[in-house]
Amino acid sequence: MGRTLSNRVLLIDDDIELLRQMSRALFSAGFDVEAAPDGLVGLERFQANRSDLVITDLIMPTREGVETIVALRKLSPDVRIIAISGGYRVGPADFLNLARHVGADDVLAKPFRLAELVALAVRSLKDGATRPTA
Amino acid sequence: MTSLEEDAAILHALNNLFGKILGAAELALDLVDQPDVRHELETVLRLTEEAAALVAAFRTAAS
C-alpha cells in the first residue's frame, strides 16, 4: 500500500533570497510551503507541522544540512528529502553524495532553475507515494 | 583558511549567486508577456548558466 500524496513542503535554506524564490515557485505550482532559515528552526517546524517533503540546503551556519537530514530520518522514516547544495570540495557532488548516504532521497546541485526544483519535488512525492511501506 | 578552502568558499558563493540570478529571471518571466522583455530574460538565464558552467570547468581544471 502506498502513501497518500500530499503537497506540503518544508524548505530549509539560510539564503533568504533563494528561500523566497523557491517558496514562490513551489507555491505557484500548488504546494503548501513552509520555510525555515536553518536546520534548527526547520526541525522545530517539522515537529510542529509535519511535511511529506523537506528540501534542505547542506551548508548552513546553524545546524547544517547533513545533521538535519539524519535528525529528520529519525523523526520520520517516510518523509521525502531533497538535498540542495552549491558547496565544493572537488565539486557539489561531494556534499550531495554524503546527503544521499545519510538519507536524502534526491539531490540537486546549485545553481538550478526553479522549474527543475518544482519538477523534482513533484517526482519525489510521486515516488514516495508509490513506494511500498513496511 | 587554506587556498583550497578559500577556493571552495568562493565557488560556493558564486553558485549561490548564479542560483539567485536564475531564480529572479525565471520569476520575472512569469510576470511579463512582452516578447522583447522575455527574450532578454531568457538571455539572462542562458548566460548565467554559461557562467556557472565556466566556473565548474575552472574548478575541475584546477583540481
Tens-digit pLDDT profile for residues B8-53: 888 889 999 999 999 999 999 999 999 999 999 999 999 999 999 9
Rounded to 5 degrees, what are φ and ψ at A122? -60, -45
Residue B53: half-sphere exposure toward Cβ, Cα within 13 Å: 6
Average pLDDT on A31-55 reads 96
Average pLDDT of the residues in A28-51: 95
Model confidence, pTM: 0.89
Of A15, A25, A89, the CB nearest to B16: A15
- Residues of A60-93 as b/e, b for ≥16 C-beta within 10 angstroms? beebbbbebbebbeeebeebbbbbbbbbbbebbe
Residues B59, A91: C-beta atoms closer than 8 Å: yes
Check whether A134 has a pLDDT greater than 50. Answer: no
Q: Pull the grid cell for residue A125.
A: 512525492
Residues whose CB falls within 8 Å of the CB of residue A55, separated by 6 or more in sequence, listed in order: A9, A10, A11, A12, A22, A81, A82, A84, A117, A121
Distance from CA of A130 to the nearest CA of B (A): 30
Pairing between β-strand A106-109 and β-strand A80-85 as defined by DSSP bridges: parallel
Give residue A104's pLDDT: 97
Joined together, the cell numbers standing for residue A57 give: 540546503
Q: Give chain B positions within 8 Å (CB) of A59.
A: 12
Name the CA radius of gyration of chain A, rounded: 13
Q: What pLDDT score does A88 carry?
A: 64
CB atoms under 10 Å from CB of A95, counted, come to: 25
Gap between the terminal Cα atoms of chain B: 17
ipTM for the whole complex? 0.88
| pLDDT at A28 > cutoff 90 | yes
Cβ partners under 8 Å of residue A122, min gap 6: A29
* Phi, psi at A52, each rounded to 5°: -90, -20
A14 near A57, Cβ under 8 Å? Answer: yes
Q: Which residue of A has its CA nearest to B61?
A: A90
Q: Once rounded to an integer, what is the mean pLDDT over residues A100-113?
A: 95
